Structure 1
Amino acid sequence: MKTRIPLLLASAGVFALGACAQGGDPYATGAGTGTGAGMSRAQQGALAGAVVGGILGATRDHDKNGQGKDALKGAIVGAAIGGVGGAILDQQQKALQQSLNNPNIRVVNNGKYLTVVMPESTLFATDSAAVGAQGQNDLYTIARNLNQYPNSTIQVIGHTDSTGSAAYNQDLSERRARSVAGILTAGGVSSNRVSTAGRGASNPVASNETASGRAQNRRVEILIVPTG
């Protein structure tokens, strides 16, 4: 195995250089991803796939040649698979951003999945789990996108600020997640793809000591996780 490690690392390096040479991520600006500066998601996926595929190929070494040919084959196949997955995420993110006519909704590409962040103000009145008219329109737009990219699972997660009791906030976050999921399925998304959860005030993204911070914490996140 030791004799294959240099070739494996060299192969990964070749893929990394090739990816960087292709240019930066055209959708990185404002995406809030925080990863892979100078590389698109397709390029990041190709690099990750190359490394994983190379490791698997090296450990198997079917032809017993000891020269790392299986590692190189695995790296090539892994890069192709990873690159395709990353490209699909790039495309879906771009399509969502173009179709959603609401600047308050963010679509974040995390590399392995997308997160659609919808603040309370775009969906609900205070202390309500009933989605308003504009929020319904936005969710139907998201549902159309999900139907165009069917190879994913959808996790709808409700969040609140820390105002009120923990039990109340937990219940509200769960009801809000179910309301959002219900509209997605009404828009044609298979219920088998959709799951819901409430996190109450347990996962803040800002300080609950300020009004603006509490507003950021009151949100629903839609996680779009590719399945293949």
Structure 2
Amino acid sequence: MKSQALIAAGVCALVLTGCTNNPYTGEQQAGKSAIYGGIGAVTGAAIGAATSSSDDRGKGALIGAAVGGAAGGGYGFYVDKQEQRLRQELTGTGVQVVRNGDSIQLVMPGNITFASGSADISSSFYPTLNSLVKVFKEFDQNGINIVGHTDSTGSNELNMRLSRERASAVAAYLSGQGVPGGRISSAGVGPSQPIASNDTESGRAQNRRVEINLRQL
């Protein structure tokens, strides 16, 4: 019974350490690492208890739970920590941080990144890009895919060129600040992937954007 209580306590502690506060609701929620880590902890605890002597079974279960939890967290744990740092660095910048499984997407509205019709980065946006450089150097285990988007105003040829040039400008800046070029790719898709209606000014403003997608290398 004592061993079972120790196993339960160890697993609960590991799962709770992976919980974070939802930045929108303020409620506590389990991060991806907590979910995977909890599964690993249960498995590790069982193995640890089974391979220990009867006198040491409780201790073995706790050690097994710790090892299994850390291994189970894996890339999910890494992304949890990276997401926290990005939200910390990008608060108040206008850049949206979107978590989707083990991928993170950064949505940078066109009105804060580039002047209208231009591929020259706005001087006011450099501090934000410098914050990204700092996080990308700290967390260097994922690729950085930069995609430029436009609204449907103007010719498709113009929009495709502008979207490519804007994505390339961001990629060049990151690389120039020391982010390894081998991690970076860029592309422009013009108006082909709208996230809002192009029939309204507010919708067109949302569609003019640059996205950075972070995925495991």
Q: Pick the TM interval, shorter chain.
A: 0.7 to 0.9
- How far residue 207 of structure 1 moved from its aligned partner, in angstroms, is 0.9
Over residues 90-128 of structure 1, what are the superposed CA-to-partner deviations in whole Å (9 max), with x where a residue is unaligned?
111111121225341111111211111100011101010
- Letter of the 1:189 partner, please give it: V
User: Hey, what does 1:108 align to over in structure 2?
Assistant: 98
- Note the C-alpha offset of 1:18: 6.6
For residues 87 and 135 of structure 1, the distance between their equivalents in structure 2, rounded to whole angstroms, comes to: 30
Partners in 1 of 2:20 and 2:175 — Cα distance?
A: 31
| Counterpart Cα distance in 2 of 1:217 and 1:85 | 31
Match of 2:23 among 21, 29, 45: 29
Displacement of 1:153 in angstroms is 0.7
Aligned positions, number: 183
The structure with more radius of gyration: 2
Whole-angstrom distance in 2 between the partners of 1:30 and 1:127: 33
Letter in 1 for 2:203: G
Q: Equivalents in 1 of 2:169, 2:21: separation in Å?
A: 30
Are residues 1:189 and 2:183 paired? no
> Which runs of 5 or more residues in structure 1 are unaligned?
1-16, 32-36, 51-75
Instruction: Please tell me the residue identity of whatever aligns with 1:125.
Output: A
**SS at 1:136 equivalent:** helix
**How many angstroms apart in 1 are the aligned matches of 2:111 and 2:29?**
34
Note if contact 2:142-2:183 (Cα within 8 Å) is conserved in structure 1. Answer: yes
SS in 1 for 2:187: strand
Aligned identity (percent) is 38
| Structure 2 equivalent of residue 118 of structure 1 | 108
Give the superposed CA RMSD: 3.0
1:25 and 1:200 map into 2 onto residues whose CA distance is: 39
Structure-2 residue corresponding to 1:95: 85
User: Aligned pair 1:200/2:194, yes or no?
Assistant: no
What residue in structure 1 maps to residue 204 of structure 2? 214
> Partners in 1 of 2:175 and 2:197 — Cα distance?
33
Partner of 1:61: none
Q: Which of these residues, 137, 149, 152, is aligned with residue 147 of structure 1?
A: 137
Map of 1:53 onto structure 2 = none
Unaligned stretches of 5+ residues in structure 2: 1-10, 42-65
Offset of residue 39 of structure 1: 2.9
**Which residue identity does 2:31 align to in structure 1?**
S
